[in-house]
């Protein structure tokens, strides 16, 4: 009450125009892209909330750093600057740059995971799951039960179910090459993991002598939630908290496109020098020499600076507040969302909003299409189109939840953009009863949501 707004802790230095396509243009774009939002041209979108990955704005200091980029093939000073920042933050001795997060995953699992293995995580992100499965291993999700209940308000819904982790290690310990925890838990609504939970994972991994890695893409947002929600951390800096998180793990994979505040990049960092040697051998095969790993020297500079800026308290306060602000607005209008909002996105519960559309007609996809149709707002479907499993008899096992993710790029949109998005969401919700489902006309054998062609099912109750 009476508190002043939490403002953007920056001012605009360069602007980039966004498009305002008319309703006719949007309708035509939907038809042309076969109702798949990945098929739109970005100029056909007004506010693009498809992802928070690589879509943020860099700071003047990052751009200045890019001018210092040294493009030497081997031994670039930009690499050593990057390495120093990553070591200082994570404490891990071995730092391996990659072109993005999934490349770090691919290399790590190529070294550690094999056919018949089981990789445990709170929730695997889709590229992480795909890279585990590509090795012939099982990707097992063990998020605590409260993490699967969208409406339940709890501070750390990304936590690992420690009892389930213990049972998995007890039953399959010799087949589990590593345990991962994703901070924040993207596939589970961007929910944070508490320090107490990370400590418990560490302890169980020690008992069974299994390495523990963080999928650290959104480590700074996670650190902020620990600071503001977990007892004993209010007076610690985000950096100290992040350092403590990393100190509990043996290594991490990282997409610098999120909390690296960069447009491209990632890394793998770890303490085991023997595993690191094997990883570097693969790195040379697919990414590049170990002092650039698929990145330009200027990218390494941008990431090094981004990893420092992302831990700024004013930034993190604004960042989490801007997501919460959108969540509050749509929730106040009666739109069901995953509660509490995560660190990088608002997840709208399409299953609850469009109960008449059955999972095999993809309610979350319908809702995502309507957000675009209504106001040129592009989110992403995280429901049965992305995660449903087609069966041989032509039926499908639906996803656990039918969600549309509205991911907020970092430092990119202003409060009025967010107000606009909230109005679009509320206008669509007001006509939820007349929204129909979709059927797939054409699909790829895996990761079908990226390229599937769809068409509307004739409108009418249940169809």
Asked if 124 contacts 115 with a C-beta cutoff of 8 angstroms, the reply is no
Task: Work out whether 131 is an interface residue with ligand F0G (CB under 6 A).
Answer: no
Pick 36 or 182: Cβ nearer ligand F0G: 182
Respond yes or no on whether the N-terminal peptide bond of residue 97 is cis (omega within 30° of 0): no
DSSP 8-state code for residue 175: G
**Stretch binding ligand F0G (CB under 6 A), from 18-26, 125-133, 159-167, 437-445:** 125-133
Pick 182 or 457: Cβ nearer ligand F0G: 182
Asked if 279 contacts 72 with a C-beta cutoff of 8 angstroms, the reply is no
Q: Which of 44, 94, 141, 215 binds ligand F0G (CB under 6 A)?
A: 215
Task: Work out whether 409 is an interface residue with ligand F0G (CB under 6 A).
Answer: no
Q: Which of 97, 101, 306, 409 binds ligand F0G (CB under 6 A)?
A: 101
Task: Work out whether 257 is an interface residue with ligand F0G (CB under 6 A).
Answer: yes
Asked if 406 contacts 346 with a C-beta cutoff of 8 angstroms, the reply is yes
Q: Are strands 118-121 and 138-141 parallel, antiparallel or unpaired?
A: parallel
Output the smallest distance, CB 127 to ligand F0G, in A: 5
Q: Which of 147, 177, 189, 266 binds ligand F0G (CB under 6 A)?
A: 266
Pick 255 or 339: Cβ nearer ligand F0G: 255
Task: Work out whether 53 is an interface residue with ligand F0G (CB under 6 A).
Answer: yes
Output the smallest distance, CB 393 to ligand F0G, in A: 32
**Stretch binding ligand F0G (CB under 6 A), from 17-25, 34-42, 97-105, 365-373:** 97-105
What is the token pair recorded at 317?
């306060």
CA–CA separation, 436 vs 377, rounded Å?
19
The residues, ordered by sequence, that sit 6+ positions from 22 with a Cβ below 8 Å of its Cβ are none
What is the token pair recorded at 301?
């500079």
Q: Which of 217, 368, 404, 406 binds ligand F0G (CB under 6 A)?
A: 217
Pick 257 or 329: Cβ nearer ligand F0G: 257
- Residue 439, SS3? strand
Pick 102 or 140: Cβ nearer ligand F0G: 102
Pick 268 or 353: Cβ nearer ligand F0G: 268
Asked if 350 contacts 330 with a C-beta cutoff of 8 angstroms, the reply is no
DSSP 8-state code for residue 357: S
Task: Work out whether 33 is an interface residue with ligand F0G (CB under 6 A).
Answer: no
CA–CA separation, 236 vs 230, rounded Å?
11
Angle between helices 60-67 and 297-309 (to 10 degrees): 150
Q: How distant is the alpha carbon of residue 432 from its chain centre?
A: 27
Q: How distant is the alpha carbon of residue 97 from its chain centre?
A: 19
Q: Which of 10, 68, 91, 127 binds ligand F0G (CB under 6 A)?
A: 127
Output the smallest distance, CB 223 to ligand F0G, in A: 15
Q: Which residues bind ligand F0G (CB under 6 A)?
A: 51, 53, 100-102, 125, 127-128, 182, 186, 215, 217, 255, 257, 266
């Amino acid at each position: 009450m009476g508190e002043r707004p939490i403002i953007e802790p920056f001012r605009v230095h360069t602007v980039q125009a966004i498009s305002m396509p008319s309703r006719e243009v949007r309708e035509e774009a939907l038809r042309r892209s076969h109702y798949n939002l990945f098929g739109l041209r970005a100029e056909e979108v007004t506010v693009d909330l498809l992802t928070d990955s690589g879509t943020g704005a860099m700071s003047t200091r990052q751009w200045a750093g890019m001018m210092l980029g040294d493009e030497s093939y081997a031994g670039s000073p930009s690499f050593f600057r990057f390495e120093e920042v990553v070591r200082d933050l994570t404490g891990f001795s071995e730092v391996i740059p990659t072109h993005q997060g999934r490349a770090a995953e691919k290399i790590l699992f190529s070294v550690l995971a094999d056919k018949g293995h089981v990789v445990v995580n709170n929730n695997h992100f889709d590229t992480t799951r795909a890279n585990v499965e590509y090795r012939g291993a099982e990707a097992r999700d063990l998020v605590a039960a409260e993490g699967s209940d969208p409406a339940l308000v709890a501070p750390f819904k990304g936590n690992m179910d420690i009892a389930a982790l213990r049972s998995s290690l007890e039953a399959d310990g010799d087949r589990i090459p590593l345990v991962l925890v994703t901070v924040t838990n993207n596939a589970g609504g961007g929910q944070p993991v508490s320090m107490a939970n990370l400590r418990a994972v560490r302890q169980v991994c020690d008992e069974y002598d299994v390495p523990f890695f963080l999928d650290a893409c959104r480590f700074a947002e996670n650190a902020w939630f620990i600071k503001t929600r977990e007892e004993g951390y209010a007076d610690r800096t985000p950096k100290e908290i992040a350092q403590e998180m990393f100190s509990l793990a043996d290594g991490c994979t990282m997409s610098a496109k999120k909390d690296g505040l960069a447009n491209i990049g990632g890394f793998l960092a770890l303490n085991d020098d023997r595993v690191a040697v094997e990883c570097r051998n693969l790195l040379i095969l697919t990414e590049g020499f170990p002092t650039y790993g698929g990145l330009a020297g200027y990218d390494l500079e941008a990431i090094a600076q981004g990893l420092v800026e992302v831990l700024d308290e004013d930034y993190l306060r604004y960042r989490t507040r801007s997501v919460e602000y959108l969540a509050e607005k749509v929730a106040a209008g009666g739109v069901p969302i995953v509660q509490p909002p995560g660190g990088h996105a608002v997840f709208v519960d399409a299953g609850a909003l469009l109960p008449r559309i059955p999972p095999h007609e993809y309610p979350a996809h319908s809702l995502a299409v309507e957000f675009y149709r209504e106001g040129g707002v592009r989110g992403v479907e995280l429901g049965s189109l992305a995660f449903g499993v087609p069966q041989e008899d032509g039926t499908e096992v639906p996803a656990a939840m039918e969600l549309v993710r509205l991911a907020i790029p970092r430092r990119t949109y202003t409060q009025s953009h967010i107000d606009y998005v909230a109005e679009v969401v509320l206008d669509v919700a007001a006509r939820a009863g007349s929204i129909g489902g979709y059927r797939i006309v054409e699909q790829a054998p895996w990761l079908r949501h990226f390229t599937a062609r769809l068409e509307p099912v004739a409108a009418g109750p249940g169809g």
